[in-house]
Structure 1
Amino acid sequence: MEEGRSSPGVKKEYKGRTTPFVVGVCIVAATGGLVFGYDNGISGGVTSMDPFLIKFFPATYKKMHQKEAHTNAYCKFDSQILTTFTSSLYIAGLFACMVASSVTRTYGRKPSILVGGLSVLVGAVLNGAALNVGMLILGRIMLGIGIGFADQAVPLYLSEMAPKQMRGALNSGFQMFVAIGVLSANITNYGTAKIHNWGWRLSLGLAVIPAIILSLGSLWLPETPNSLMEREGPEKARSMLQRIRGTVDVEEELSDMMEAKKISETVKHPLRNMMQRKYRPQLAMAVVIPLFQQLTGINAIAFYLPVLFRTIGFETNASLMSAVITGVIGTTATVLGMFAVDRYGRRFLFLQGGVQMLVAQVIIATILGIKFDSSGDGSMPKVYAYLLLVMVCIYVVGFAWSWGPLGWLVPSEIFSLEVRSIGQSIAVTVNLLLIFIVAQGFLAMLCHFKFGIFLFFAGWVFLMTLFVYFFLPETKNIGIEEMNSVWREHWYWKRFINEESPIPIKIEGSRKIENTQ
C-alpha cells in the first residue's frame, strides 16, 4: 500500500484532541455566517415597511393600497424593481466568489475572510445612507462581493481547522451564525418598523456590526495547516497542526497533507482539472447540493416572510413578530443539529429534514388553498393563520438541522486539496445563483402560482431526498485528506474513481506491493 494512504474501508485515527484554541478560531471564523444571515433576513422586513417603499418604490406602495390590487392578494407585492433590490446582492456575490477562489488558493483563507468583512462594511454604510435607488443597489452589490468572499472562504476554513470527529459540529457553526444573523435582522426590523420615516435606514445600516466583527476577527485568525502546507511548506503546517490538535504527534495527518500538496503542485488550471472524470462525484455534489438547498424554498421564506404574512392578513408588526418567532425556532434547531451531525451522520439528517419539510409544505399549501381568501380582502380565519405559522416553524426546523448546515458542510469537506478552493467556489456560485433566481422570481411566482408555490418547492424537496438516499455517501469521521475513500466504496460513484485511478505497483526491496487505493 502506498505510504500516506489508507486502504478502502479503513478510517485513520489521527492523534490529537479538540483544543480550546481550535474551538475559538472556528467560532470567530463562523461569524462570517452573521453577515450572510443578517443581509438575508433584513431585506424582507425592510421591503414591507411603508416609508421605505414610499421613498424608493412608490409604484409598489401605490399598488398595495389600490382597491383593485385586492382582486389577487398574492400579487400585492409583485415588483421586479423591488426584487432587484433583494437579488442584486446575490448576483454580485456569484461573480465575487469566483475571484475569491484564486485569492483563497494563492494567498490563503484568512485574506479572503478579511476582504469579505471589509466589503460588507462598505455596503452597509452605502445602504444606510442611500439617497436613491442607484445608491441602494450599489450598496447591495458591495454586500454581495463581501458575501461571495466570506462564503467561499469560511466553510473551507472551518473544515480544514476542525478535527474530523468534530468537523460537522464546528462547520455547522457557520449555519448557526447564519440563523443568528437572520434572527437579529428580524428583531431589528420589528423594532425599527416603529421608527417613522427612517427606521429602514437603521435596519440596513446595522449590517456594519457583523461586518466589523468579521473584519476584526479575521485579523486574529491563524491560517489553516492545509493552506500553509500548500503555500509555505510542511514545517509551518506541522507547527499549526501541533497547536490546533494539542499534541506533537501529528505526523500521520501531516503525511496526508504532504501527499495532497504533491498532487496540488501538478495542477496549474484548477477549473479545467475539476472537469476530469475522477472528480465527477465531487463536482456533482458541488452543483446538486447547493442547488437543492435553495430549491427547498428557504430563502423565499427568509426574504419575504414578513411580506407573506402581510399577504395573508397579519398587520405589519404582527408579520415582523412572526418572522422573529420563526427565527428563534430556527436558531434553536440549528444548535440541536450541531450536536447531532457528528453522532447520527450527514445522511440521516438530510433524509429526516427532507421528509419534515415535505410534509410541512404540503400542509401549508393545503391551508392556503382552502382557507385563504385571495380574491377578497386578502385574509383568512385567525385559527388557520396561526396554524400556518406553526407549519412554517416546523418547516424552518426541518431545514435548520438538515439542509441548512449540511448544504455548507458537505461541499466544503469532500474536495481534494488540489481542487478544494475551486470546488468550494463552484458550490457557492451555484448557491448564490439559485438564491438570485429564487429572490428575483419569488414574488412573481407567488402571484401566478398562488398557494401552489409551496407545492412547487415540495416537489423539489421530494426529489432531493431521493437523491441523498441513492447518491450521497456518509462522510462523518472521515479525514478531509482521505475523503476519496467514500467515493471508491459507493455503488455508483466508484466507477468514476476506479476507472481514473488504476492500481499502481510500488517496489519495496524485492517485493511488489499493490496499492489498494
Structure 2
Amino acid sequence: MVTTRLETKLLAGGDERLTPFLIFSCTVAASGGLLFGYDLGISGGVTSTETFLKKFFPDVYIQMKEDSKISNYCKFDSQVLTLFTSSLYIAGFFSSLFASHVSKRFGHRSSMRAGGAFFVTGAAMGAAAINVQMLLLSRLLLGIGVGFTNQVWAIPLYLSEIAPASYRGAIMNFFDACVNVGILIASLINYCTQKIDGGWGWRLSLGLAGIPAFLFAAGSHFIPETPRGIIQRGGHLQQASLLLQKLRGTADIGNELNIIAAASDGGKNSTPVAFQSLIVRRKYRPHLAIAFALPIFRQMTGINLVTFYAPVMFRTIGFKESGSLLSTVVTRMTVIACNLVSIAAVDRIGRRFLFFLGGTQMFASQLMIGGLMAAEFGDHRMMSKAYANIILVFLCVYVAGFGLSWGPLPWLATEIFPAEVRSPAQSIAVAASLLFTALVAQSLLWMLCNMKWGIFVFFGGWVAVMSLFVFFFLPETKGIPLEHMGRVWGDHWYWKSFVEDDEQ
C-alpha cells in the first residue's frame, strides 16, 4: 500500500508507533479530503470551460469572448457564476449546525456515511444538470456532504482523537494533503475532459466525484469509532481499552486510557455546555478565539483566488483554455510537495515555525505578483507570455508557502478544545469558517474586478497581520496530549488570565 509506506517513511521515529490498523483507519478517514478537494478543483475548472459557460452562463461567455470594452479584470465577474462555487459553503454552514448532534449521538462514522451519501447524490445530479437551478441544487447537496464530513465533524475530530500525540500534527496534515490531491485530480480531469468533442466533458468532470464518494462511504464501515467517542457515549471501558491496544500495537495503554476516561467522565459529569454558555464562560475564551481566528485567517490568505478561480485567473492574464488548466495542475503539484514536507516537519519543529516560514513566502510573493500585474497588465492590455510565466512562478512560491503553513495547520484547531466542550466548540468554529468562506468565495471575482492588481496586495497585508497574531497569541502545541492541552493556555502570557487553574 503506497500510502502506508509513505506515511511510515515520513513519520518513523519516536516512542509511539504507527500500527497498520491505525494507518488504515487514518487513511480511510483522511481520504474524505479527496472528495472535498475534488469538488473545489472541479468548480474552478468547469467555470473556465467555454462549453459549460455557453450552456449555463451565456452572459459571462459573451463578456469573455466578444465584449472588447469590458476590463480584463472583469470578464468573469458574475454573481450567479460565483454562486456556483459559494453555494457549497452556504449548504455546509447550515448542515454543520445539525452535524454536531449527529456526530455526538451516533459517532463520527455515522457523519462520514451521511456525508458520503450526499456527495454521491450531488455528483449524480451535477452530471445530469440541464439548467442553472439543477446545477446549484447539486452544489447544495455536495455542501451538505462537506458539512457532515471534511470541514466540520467526522474527519478532523476523528483524526485528532485517534492519533498518538507525537504524530497528531502529521496525521492532521495528511488530511490537507488529501484535499490537495483531490484538487490535483480534478485539475487533471478538467484538462482532459475539455478536449472531448461534443462539449459534454464537463458532465464527466462533475459526475466522476461519485466514485471516490462511494468508496469513502463504503470504507467508513471498516474503521472503528475512537476510544474517546466510545467512552463519551456511555460505552464500556473494556471496549475502549481493546480498541486502544489495537491502535497502539501494545497492551501498555493504561496511562493513556486513564487520561482519556478521566477527561471523558469530566465532560459527562459537568453541567452540559450549550453553545451560548460556551461563548459566555471566560475559561473557554482562548479556545474560541484561536479556533475562530485560524480558519478565518486561512481564507484571508487569498488562497481561494487560486483554489476556486485559478483557471479563470490564468485566462484573465492571457493563458488559453488548455494552458490555464495545465497551469492549475502545476500549482497544485507544488502545494502537495510542500504538504509532504509539512507532514514530516510539523511534529519535529512545531506549528509556529511553519506558520512564520510559510507566511514570509506568501507575503513576499503576493507583493511581487501585484507589482508585476500593475506594471504589465491593464484593463485592455494583455500580458506577454514571458511575464505570465513569471507570475506562474511566483504563484508556485505562494502556494508552496501555503502548503507548508496556512493550508494544513488551521485544521489543528481541533486539538485545542478540552473534551467536555470539543463538540459544540468545533461546531461553532467551523460553522463560522464555512460562512466566512462562502462570503469570500462569492465576492472574489467582484474584488478582482474592482481592486484589480491590488487584490494581491490586500491579501498580502492580511498575511502580515495573521503572522503577527500567531507570534503573539498562538501557543505551541507540539507533542502535547489532547487531555493535557489546557496547560498551554495557563502558561501563555496573555491567555493565562482567562483560564481557570483546573489542571495546575
Q: Same fold (TM over 0.5)?
A: yes
CA offsets 1:123-162 (integer angstroms, 9 cap, x no match) = 0000011011111111000000001111221011001111
SS of equivalent to 2:407: helix
Q: One-letter code of the match for 2:445? A: L
Does residue 1:369 correspond to 2:368, yes or no?
no
CA offsets 1:169-206 (integer angstroms, 9 cap, x no match) = 11111101001001001101100111131011011111
Q: Tell me whether 440-449 or 267-276 shows the greater mean CA deviation.
A: 267-276
Aligned match of 2:20? 20
Aligned match of 1:184? 185
Checking the alignment, whether the CA contact within 8 Å between 1:16 and 1:247 is kept in structure 2 is no
Give the structure-1-normalised TM-score: 0.92
Q: In 2, distance between residues paired with 1:183 and 1:49? A: 17
Shift of 1:336: 1.2
Q: In 1, distance between residues paired with 2:181 and 2:425? A: 27
Among 335, 350, 353, the residue aligned to 2:355: 350
Q: In 1, distance between residues paired with 2:340 and 2:68? A: 45
Checking the alignment, whether the CA contact within 8 Å between 1:273 and 1:419 is kept in structure 2 is no
Shift of 1:164: 0.6
Shift of 1:320: 0.5
Q: In 2, distance between residues paired with 1:442 and 1:111? A: 34
Aligned match of 1:438? 440
Checking the alignment, whether the CA contact within 8 Å between 1:15 and 1:249 is kept in structure 2 is no
Q: In 1, distance between residues paired with 2:67 and 2:114? A: 48
SS of equivalent to 1:387: helix
Structure 1 segments of 4+ aligned residues over 4 angstroms from their partners = none
Does residue 1:287 correspond to 2:292, yes or no?
yes
Shift of 1:273: 3.7
Q: In 2, distance between residues paired with 1:431 and 1:180? A: 22
Aligned match of 2:221? 219
Aligned match of 1:422? 424
Q: In 2, distance between residues paired with 1:167 and 1:267? A: 29
Q: How do 1:342-491 and structure 2 match up within 5 A?
A: 342-376=347-381, 379-409=382-412, 411-491=413-493
Checking the alignment, whether the CA contact within 8 Å between 1:53 and 1:61 is kept in structure 2 is yes
Q: In 1, distance between residues paired with 2:472 and 2:187? A: 37
Aligned match of 1:118? 117
Q: In 1, distance between residues paired with 2:16 and 2:399? A: 36
CA offsets 1:248-289 (integer angstroms, 9 cap, x no match) = 121211111122122211243432342211111110011100
SS of equivalent to 1:130: coil
Shift of 1:15: 7.9
The alpha-carbon distance between structure 1 residues 16 and 313, as it changes in their structure 2 partners (threshold 3 A), is: closer
Does residue 1:332 correspond to 2:337, yes or no?
yes
Q: In 2, distance between residues paired with 1:42 and 1:372? A: 27
SS of equivalent to 1:68: coil
Q: In 2, distance between residues paired with 1:269 and 1:164? A: 26
Q: One-letter code of the match for 2:179? A: V
Aligned match of 1:3? none
Shift of 1:29: 0.4
Does residue 1:37 correspond to 2:37, yes or no?
yes
Aligned match of 2:6? none
Q: One-letter code of the match for 1:201? A: R
The alpha-carbon distance between structure 1 residues 270 and 256, as it changes in their structure 2 partners (threshold 3 A), is: farther
Q: How do 1:52-451 and structure 2 match up within 5 A?
A: 52-69=52-69, 71-151=70-150, 152=152, 153-195=154-196, 196-231=198-233, 232-265=235-268, 266-275=270-279, 276-376=281-381, 379-409=382-412, 411-451=413-453
Checking the alignment, whether the CA contact within 8 Å between 2:318 and 2:384 is kept in structure 1 is no
Aligned match of 2:8? none
Q: In 2, distance between residues paired with 1:273 and 1:415? A: 15
Checking the alignment, whether the CA contact within 8 Å between 1:29 and 1:154 is kept in structure 2 is yes
Q: Tell me whether 121-130 or 264-273 shows the greater mean CA deviation.
A: 264-273
Q: In 2, distance between residues paired with 1:117 and 1:346? A: 31
Q: In 1, distance between residues paired with 2:434 and 2:374? A: 31
SS of equivalent to 1:194: coil
Shift of 1:97: 1.3
SS of equivalent to 2:476: coil
Percent of aligned pairs with the same residue? 50
Residue ranges of structure 2 left out of the alignment (5+ in a row):
1-13
Checking the alignment, whether the CA contact within 8 Å between 2:42 and 2:183 is kept in structure 1 is yes
Residue ranges of structure 1 left out of the alignment (5+ in a row):
1-13, 503-515
Shift of 1:460: 0.8
Q: One-letter code of the match for 2:284? A: Y
Checking the alignment, whether the CA contact within 8 Å between 2:475 and 2:488 is kept in structure 1 is yes
Q: In 2, distance between residues paired with 1:188 and 1:113? A: 25
Rg bigger for which structure? 1
Q: One-letter code of the match for 1:483? A: M
Aligned match of 1:501? 501
Pairwise CA RMSD: 1.4
Shift of 1:66: 2.5
Q: In 2, distance between residues paired with 1:181 and 1:209? A: 12
Q: Tell me whether 460-469 or 99-108 shows the greater mean CA deviation.
A: 99-108
Q: Tell me whether 425-434 or 173-182 shows the greater mean CA deviation.
A: 425-434
SS of equivalent to 1:373: coil
Shift of 1:236: 1.9
